Amino acid sequence: MLHIQGQFAGQAGLAMYYQRWSAEKPCKAVLGLIHGLGSHSGWFAHFAQSLAAQGYWVYGYDLRGHGRSVGQRGYINRWSEFRDDLAAFHRLIQTENPTQPIFMLGHSLGGVIALDYALHYPHGLSGLITMAPAVGPVGIAPVKLAIGQILSQVWPRFTLNSGIAPDSGSHDGAIVTAYNTDPLRHSKGTARLVTEYLATTHFIQSQLQQLTLPILILHGSSDKVALPESSRYLFKELRSEDKEYREYAGAYHDLHNDSCAPKVTQDMVNWLERQINHQPRFCKLNDSQLALA
């Protein structure tokens, strides 16, 4: 297994950390990874290694204000910073892999970033994967969201704890303990992030019929961070002819670090194989499958 680390310039030249996992075998396709609020790309290492071993190279980066990337924790001036950072990340992947299909995978907040990006810049993407995308009801107290909206214009950097419990991500006690002791993780959200996030989810919901890329949607039925209703709504409203939704019984928010991770990885590989082999398109909801032209 090969692992490299480096930096690229995000929006306004911000130093962004990234890493790549690859194997010494031909690359079938490339997956760009976007993590969620308070996390970082390192928490996808085992998952990325499993994909790389099957011929899928994985690039992950730390969002601004997260992990090893610079910036105030949990803060953005405007949502376009996330979008422009992802565009720079996408260009990096394209430069290093000019002939390979490129897919984007977004988890939680990263799912929102990926969906917004695909609506603005669908060209150069072969498909999209969202894992527990936070495009609907979330497990953050409404009062905290309300405070963020009130203060966004007068004190945009005001910071609150998100209130997301570490044990809401995984059933694995060792993972939860590691979450609690990881100095690169945080639970911070700022007033401006709240308003930019809410505006962006509203934009995504209003534009879903414009998203035609192949998409795989994954969610845990017991997710209390981004409620599964978000993904069910997403699947229902999308007009893509190639869409698939899988819900994992009893699974929590971090599917890549929960007990269902091997199943999630294999489902993802199966979907990627179908995409790169140009197999007939399907509209699939869990185990019922409808073939489309």
Write down the domain spans for the chain.
Answer: 2-291
At residue 58, the pLDDT reads 98
Whether 158 has a pLDDT exceeding 90, the answer reads no
Check if CATH label 3.40.50.1820 holds for domain 2-291.
Answer: yes
User: What is the percent of the chain with per-residue pLDDT over 90, rounded to a whole number?
Assistant: 79
Pairing status of strand 15-22 against strand 56-61: antiparallel
State mean pLDDT over 91-108: 97
State mean pLDDT over 64-86: 96
Whether 287 has a pLDDT exceeding 80, the answer reads no
| Nearest in space to 193 (alpha carbons), one of 158, 232, 141, 237 | 158
Alpha-carbon gap, residue 58 to 108, rounded angstroms: 18
State mean pLDDT over 245-266: 97
Whether 208 has a pLDDT exceeding 80, the answer reads yes
Whether 40 has a pLDDT exceeding 50, the answer reads yes
Whether 127 has a pLDDT exceeding 90, the answer reads yes
Quickly state the pLDDT bin for 157 (edges 50, 70, 90). confident
Whether 290 has a pLDDT exceeding 50, the answer reads no
User: What is the percent of the chain with per-residue pLDDT over 70, rounded to a whole number?
Assistant: 89
Whether 26 has a pLDDT exceeding 90, the answer reads no
Q: How many degrees, rounded to 5, is the angle at CA 168 between CA 175 and CA 284?
A: 100
Alpha-carbon gap, residue 245 to 31, rounded angstroms: 19
Whether 81 has a pLDDT exceeding 90, the answer reads yes
At residue 148, the pLDDT reads 60
At residue 282, the pLDDT reads 54
Whether 140 has a pLDDT exceeding 90, the answer reads no
Alpha-carbon gap, residue 141 to 95, rounded angstroms: 42
Residue 104: which H helix or E strand, with range?
strand 102-107
Residues 11-41 as b/e (b if ≥16 CB within 10 A, e otherwise) read: beebebbbbbbbbeeeebbbbbbbbbbbbbb
Amino acid type, 25: K
What's the whole-model pTM score? 0.92
At residue 141, the pLDDT reads 58
